[in-house]
A and B are shown apart, each in its own frame.
Chain A
Amino acid sequence: MSILAVMDVTKTFGGLVAVNGVSFNLEEGTITGLIGPNGAGKTTVFNLITGNYRPGNGDILFNGKSVVGLPTHRIAGLGIARTFQTIRLFQNLSILENVLAGCHGRMRSGPVGAMLRTRAVMQEERDGLARALAELDFVGLHQHVEQPARNLSHGNQRLLEVARALAVGPRLLILDEPAGGMNEDETARLMGLISEIRKKGIAILLIEHDMRVVMKICEMIVVLDNGKKIAEGSPEEIKKNPMVIEAYLGTEEDQTDAPSY
């Protein structure tokens, strides 16, 4: 069952065509990787899916319904949660409160409820807290949850972002370079976590430069270069695809983007 269909999507910034007629499909409950050299348009595709940008052309269907033109918070409400390439946590707020942000959409008390503090409102708060703590346990961050988020190590901050995204209760989780800046152990832990998330039935789309991660956990890979999709397939197929190799290795002069297998 297709959970996300990106259909011939184009995005232009001024004169620059960042995403050029990209199409791909995500199946429910699968892990898909989106790779490509720097500047290929990967994060832009993410921003198009989450509604931060609006495509000039094309359509994006989530569970068969078009999400183009919907505001970001509505798309989150429909079931797409994300993490950011540069970590965007609420640094001055506590670890717990960061995750509670994700719970926001599943609660409903407003200013009046806040002032009246009815039984129902208090129960909702307790449920939200329980959910937040559960997600923190799941990613392995149950210690010192009332410390400000900025006190966490880089790797743990990335995990916290994942916990916040999970708290939204998504059907599709979009991870933008989740292993960025992580060491070997942290990366291994992350890969285990992603497998666990998949077991819950959540589809995952991730951008990652660390090829070991991509090749090991992704069932399908989509490759972008210069805004266009140049390949799509299983890790095995992609490894051998000459266009992919050329995109990364380029000509003899610029061998800077070689993926590390």
Chain B
Amino acid sequence: MEEFFQQLTNGLAVGGIYALIALGYTMVYGVLKLINFAHGDLFSTGAYLGLTILISFGLTDRLGPVAGVLLLALMVMGLLAIVGTMLERIAYRPLRESPRLSAVVSALGASIFLQNTLMFVYGARFQVYPHDILPDTALDLFGIDIPIVRMLILLASLVLMAALYLFIQKTRTGTAIRAVAIDQRAARLMGIDVNRVILIVFLVGPALGGVAGLMVGLLYGQINFTMGWIYGLKAFTAAILGGIGNIPGAMVGGVLLGVIEALGAAYISIAWKDAIAFFVLILILIVRPTGLLGERVAEKI
């Protein structure tokens, strides 16, 4: 029983991270019908930049853990928003009118470029996050010791997801994003500035992905330039699981995938842990391709 709760909370925390990354994928796919292969690398970039800022500015030393981490998160989000828009400008905008294959290849190229830039700058070995930022203690829930870091991460992702959800549902910009995702042409005819919507999507998505990278650094203590690839693919699976283009879907899909993976690794086999995500992916695409919450992408017959 103890083991189960440990794995469950672990899965929820990781799932929250997957969800944040998945949101980036789903939002971009929703408005551009493009799989942003470079998104996983934006997540890695967030992890690395977070580390650099943390160490260079000694934020937590000066401001204490809470304020320090919060400021760190904000800075990472801001920087990633900039990187995200640059990515869109350079690799995707020129190909808006081109066939889909071109954008896919360009996305792959961008991913390779980003990943290797990170390797170039930071080296190929694992980089380590300082362990003493967040308290190393555990919380006593129903008699089980759950690391407080895990709970904080989970809480943080839930807060961010809630914020995004409110943004998408309640603000005009959020509605505009949903409209463009459903039918770009109709949205444009309704007077929505599609370019601005795309810009915002590439600000918010990468920001969330970047902060997810920061969280991984804090949660696991080490980062590597290839993690973008594996997290990225799993997050995309989560997005599809929930229904691509569907924002609540990405949240549900992410958390669900995290839990399935954690429990699967614990009770079935740890060696196949990474493959679990792919099995889920293929299964969902065969059985219910529109995802659990339904696709929000217009299909022209």
Residues in A lying within 8 Å of B, measured CB to CB: 47, 52-53
Determine whether B301 belongs to the interface, using a CB cutoff of 8 Å to chain A: yes
Closest 3 interchain pairs by CB?
A: A52-B301, A53-B301, A47-B301
Note all chain A residues with C-beta closer than 8 A to B301: 47, 52-53
List 3 A–B pairs whose Cβ atoms lie within 8 Å, in order of A's numbering. Answer: A47-B301, A52-B301, A53-B301
- How long is the Cα–Cα vector from A47 to B301 in the complex, in angstroms? 10
Note all chain B residues with C-beta closer than 8 A to A52: 301
Q: Determine how close the nearest CB of chain B comes to the CB of A93; give it in whole angstroms.
A: 15
- How long is the Cα–Cα vector from A53 to B301 in the complex, in angstroms? 9
Q: Determine how close the nearest CB of chain A comes to the CB of B297; give it in whole angstroms.
A: 15
Instruction: Please classify how large the interface on chain B is, using the bins under 10, 10 to 19, 20 to 34, 35 or more.
Output: under 10
Residue of B nearest to A53 (CB): B301
Q: Determine how close the nearest CB of chain A comes to the CB of B25; give it in whole angstroms.
A: 27
A-facing residues in B41-93 (Cβ within 8 Å)? none
Q: Determine how close the nearest CB of chain B comes to the CB of A39; give it in whole angstroms.
A: 15
Note all chain B residues with C-beta closer than 8 A to A47: 301
Prevailing SS type, chain B contact patch:
loop
A-facing residues in B247-264 (Cβ within 8 Å)? none
Number of A-B pairs whose CB atoms are under 8 Å? 3
Q: Determine how close the nearest CB of chain A comes to the CB of B149; give it in whole angstroms.
A: 46
Q: Determine how close the nearest CB of chain A comes to the CB of B34; give it in whole angstroms.
A: 22
Note all chain B residues with C-beta closer than 8 A to A53: 301
- How long is the Cα–Cα vector from A47 to B282 in the complex, in angstroms? 30
Q: Interface digits, B263-301 against A, CB 8 Å rule (1 contact, 0 not)?
A: 000000000000000000000000000000000000001
Q: Determine how close the nearest CB of chain A comes to the CB of B102; give it in whole angstroms.
A: 15
Q: Determine how close the nearest CB of chain A comes to the CB of B93; give it in whole angstroms.
A: 25
A-facing residues in B154-208 (Cβ within 8 Å)? none
Q: Determine how close the nearest CB of chain A comes to the CB of B214; give it in whole angstroms.
A: 42
Q: Determine how close the nearest CB of chain B comes to the CB of A202; give it in whole angstroms.
A: 27
Q: Determine how close the nearest CB of chain A comes to the CB of B222; give it in whole angstroms.
A: 49
Residue of B nearest to A47 (CB): B301
Residue of B nearest to A13 (CB): B301
- How long is the Cα–Cα vector from A52 to B300 in the complex, in angstroms? 13
Residue of B nearest to A52 (CB): B301
Q: Determine how close the nearest CB of chain B comes to the CB of A41; give it in whole angstroms.
A: 14
Q: Determine how close the nearest CB of chain A comes to the CB of B161; give it in whole angstroms.
A: 29
Q: Determine how close the nearest CB of chain A comes to the CB of B99; give it in whole angstroms.
A: 11
Q: Determine how close the nearest CB of chain A comes to the CB of B295; give it in whole angstroms.
A: 14
- How long is the Cα–Cα vector from A119 to B301 in the complex, in angstroms? 42
Q: Determine how close the nearest CB of chain B comes to the CB of A136; give it in whole angstroms.
A: 28
- How long is the Cα–Cα vector from A47 to B300 in the complex, in angstroms? 14
Q: Determine how close the nearest CB of chain A comes to the CB of B100; give it in whole angstroms.
A: 15
Q: Determine how close the nearest CB of chain A comes to the CB of B300; give it in whole angstroms.
A: 10
- How long is the Cα–Cα vector from A52 to B301 in the complex, in angstroms? 9
Q: Determine how close the nearest CB of chain B comes to the CB of A144; give it in whole angstroms.
A: 26
- How long is the Cα–Cα vector from A187 to B301 in the complex, in angstroms? 28
Q: Determine how close the nearest CB of chain B comes to the CB of A14; give it in whole angstroms.
A: 12
- How long is the Cα–Cα vector from A21 to B301 in the complex, in angstroms? 22
Q: Determine how close the nearest CB of chain B comes to the CB of A193; give it in whole angstroms.
A: 29
Q: Determine how close the nearest CB of chain A comes to the CB of B182; give it in whole angstroms.
A: 14
- How long is the Cα–Cα vector from A193 to B301 in the complex, in angstroms? 30
Q: Determine how close the nearest CB of chain B comes to the CB of A87; give it in whole angstroms.
A: 15
Q: Determine how close the nearest CB of chain A comes to the CB of B294; give it in whole angstroms.
A: 12
Q: Determine how close the nearest CB of chain B comes to the CB of A67; give it in whole angstroms.
A: 19
Q: Interface digits, B213-226 against A, CB 8 Å rule (1 contact, 0 not)?
A: 00000000000000
Q: Determine how close the nearest CB of chain B comes to the CB of A53; give it in whole angstroms.
A: 8
Q: Interface digits, B97-118 against A, CB 8 Å rule (1 contact, 0 not)?
A: 0000000000000000000000
Q: Determine how close the nearest CB of chain B comes to the CB of A186; give it in whole angstroms.
A: 28
